[in-house]
Amino acid sequence: MELGTRNLEPETWNPKPGTRNPPPPLGSGFAKLSAMIKDQSEIISPPTSFGRILLAVGPGLIVAGSIVGSGELIATTKTGAEAGFSLLWLIVIGCVIKVFAQIEFGRYALISGKTTLVALDEVPGPRIKGRGNWLVWYWLIMWLASISQLGGIVGGVGQALSISAPLTGQGVAYNEAADAEQLARFDAFRAAHDRGESEFEVSTPNTWASYDATYPPATADEHLHPHDTAIWAILISLITSVILVVGRYNLIQSFSTALVASFTLLVVVNVYWLQSEAEFAFSAKEFLSGLMFSFPEKTAGISPIRTALATFGIIGVGAAELITYPYWCLEKGYGKFTGKNDGSQAWKQRAAGWMRVMHVDAWGAMLIYTFATVAFFLLGASVLHRIGLNPEKGDMVRTLAVMFQPVFSEWAATVFLFGALAVLYSTFFVANASHARTFSDALRVIGLIAHDEQTRDRWIRILSGVFPVLCVVIFIAFPAPAQLVLISGIAQGIMLPMLAGAALFFRYKRSVDGLEPNKIWDVFLWLSAAAMLVTGGWTVFAVLS
């Protein structure tokens, strides 16, 4: 231990290596010494071998658990369904470019020990004295959109469960009629392809006949949806509340990693086998065309660009993940393992070592979710776009399941529903855990609760129980999962330029001598900030136009 590097009682005790100063006096000085020894006992030298570094990663895997769900399964697939292959380049950039800003946020958390919202409150600009600055208050607006997104997510989970395990007779009848309609459209596309036709018509006048006879539609344009989805969503929310209240970091990391890994593997296998299906296989030319800088045209009232921009805000590390990543880094222990900045060379070496671990963690997670994102996009472009299906509203999950129809045929629904439950629930689970941490921190920043850790921990437990229930209330009030997800994407897209500015502030105003990144890193950080600025500006333009 480096006891001589910290000043406990400057007037009476400040031992240096090699001196024979008297021991500290009892009383307050002894209490400070005990606290310091406890703090020092948590200091751990960073791993140096690649294998040991891999054992120390984790925050990125939790973030991936949040990402591979709403962004990938819903928003990315919807973009592919609307635009075909033409916006693949935007999807890839959206996954990669924001990692530089993510690591800057993590860097400042590691060297300062400060949470993100506390750090954001240091950024210059308008503020309410003692109540936070402009960034903190916009985050509260974005949080409202994000919690609405989770309402869409739990609705998606409810849809998946209501399809695989309906709870009412009306649910069983609705599934039969809806499945028949989807299957008719799918079969019509295959028949048209076999005849060499590029256009096809689907006529299914009798698929809803028996259902509507028993459950007359609410309007001429809608069939009466059963309550199974809402019932399942409520049950899932209550279960999640209990798990999050009693759970801790290791449970969240392990659970989310297992769920994401299982479905990512399933999606990759599906994309690979899809190449053996002539109607849906995509060529190298189509794939490469998607990487070229081009934009699809607006057709039939659908704006793929608007969907893609909303998607850009939430795929990869969206604004919400940029903010929550440092919380998981601190909870994993990177900050306390480094120790408090005492200006010593030993501290700088530890900080540099744990920063290397954080780099591996962030970039490794990026490879995982980028691979998954591209796979989801290709499924949407190859299957849904060609058939003419767009996942939205009450039949979002059922429409997404069609992506698995070419490969798994009669097993498609079962296979997809397992995967959808895995990634959608993973997002719901991790994001609620993240929101509990960030919102309790926001309460401290705006002065509504005390700043001590015990108070914050108590509020984390309270909000962990409340937020899942709030999500399902939002879904029941606004039962349109895809739209709720895209609204959050727009709100996060608007915040991206703000976070880009904050990342640059941390880089140039909160760096530690000897730990600054190199010039190449700075170039990519500025490119990341520029991409986030363009996306935010474009998002505002798309919303207002």
Mean pLDDT, residues 416-427 taken together: 76
Exposed/middle/buried for 340, CB within 10 Å: 0-12, 13-18, 19+? Answer: middle
Task: Tell me the average pLDDT of the chain.
Answer: 80
Q: What is the CATH number of the domain that holds 269?
A: 1.10.4160.10
What's the average model confidence in pLDDT over 53-80?
78
pLDDT for the residue numbered 394? 58
Instruction: Indicate whether 333 belongs to any domain.
Output: yes
Pick the more confident residue, 545 or 40. Answer: 545
**In angstroms, rounded to a whole number, what is the distance separating the alpha carbons of residues 173 and 211?**
6
Per-residue pLDDT, averaged over 307-313, amounts to 67
Give the chain's domain count: 1
Work out the burial of residue 459: count CB atoms within 10 Å of its CB; fewer than 13 is exposed, 13-18 middle, 19 or more buried.
Answer: buried
Give residue 132's pLDDT band: very low, low, confident or very high (50, 70, 90).
Answer: very high
CB atoms within 10 A of CB 466: 17
* Ranges 287-291, 330-334, 392-396, 512-516: which has the least confidence: 392-396
The answer to whether residue 13 sits within a structural domain is no
Question: Would residue 357 count as lying in a domain?
Answer: yes
- For residues 11, 16, 18, 24, the Cα torsion angle rounded to the nearest 10 degrees is 50
pLDDT of residue 210: 67
Residue 402 has a pLDDT of: 80
Higher pLDDT among residues 442 and 479, named by residue = 442
Per-residue confidence (pLDDT) for residue 383, from 0 to 100:
85
Q: Look at residue 538 and tell me whether its pLDDT is greater than 90.
A: no
What per-residue confidence (pLDDT) applies to 139?
Answer: 94
Per-residue pLDDT at 448 exceeds 70? yes
Identify the pLDDT of residue 233. Answer: 92
What pLDDT score was predicted for residue 443? 94
Asked if residue 222 is part of any domain, the answer here is no
Rounded to two decimals, the pTM is 0.76
Does residue 16 belong to any structural domain of this protein? no
Query: What is the percent of the chain where pLDDT is above 90?
Result: 31
The pLDDT-based confidence of 251 (bands split at 50, 70, 90) is confident
Q: CA-CA distance, 530 to 505, in Å (whole number)? A: 14
Q: Is residue 15 part of a domain?
A: no
- pLDDT (mean) for 496-505: 94
Least confident range of 33-37, 70-74, 320-324: 33-37
Higher pLDDT, 423 or 120: 120
> Which of 123, 117, 113 minimizes the C-alpha distance to 136?
117
The 8-class DSSP code of residue 390 comes to: -
The domain in which residue 472 lies consists of: 46-168+227-544
What is the tally of helices (H) and strands (E) in the chain?
Answer: 24, 0
Give whole-number Cα distances, 296 to 302, 304, 357, in Å: 11, 7, 40
199 confidence band (pLDDT: 50, 70, 90): low
* pLDDT at res. 445: 93
Q: Residue 371 corresponds to which amino acid?
A: F
Is residue 220 one of the residues assigned to a domain?
A: no
| pLDDT mean over 499-506 | 96
What's the whole-number mean pLDDT along residues 497-524?
A: 94
Average pLDDT over residues 372-383: 85
Residue range 236-262: mean pLDDT, rounded: 81
pLDDT confidence of 145, banded at 50, 70, 90?
Answer: confident
Q: pLDDT at residue 59 above 80? A: yes
| Residue at 210 is within a domain | no
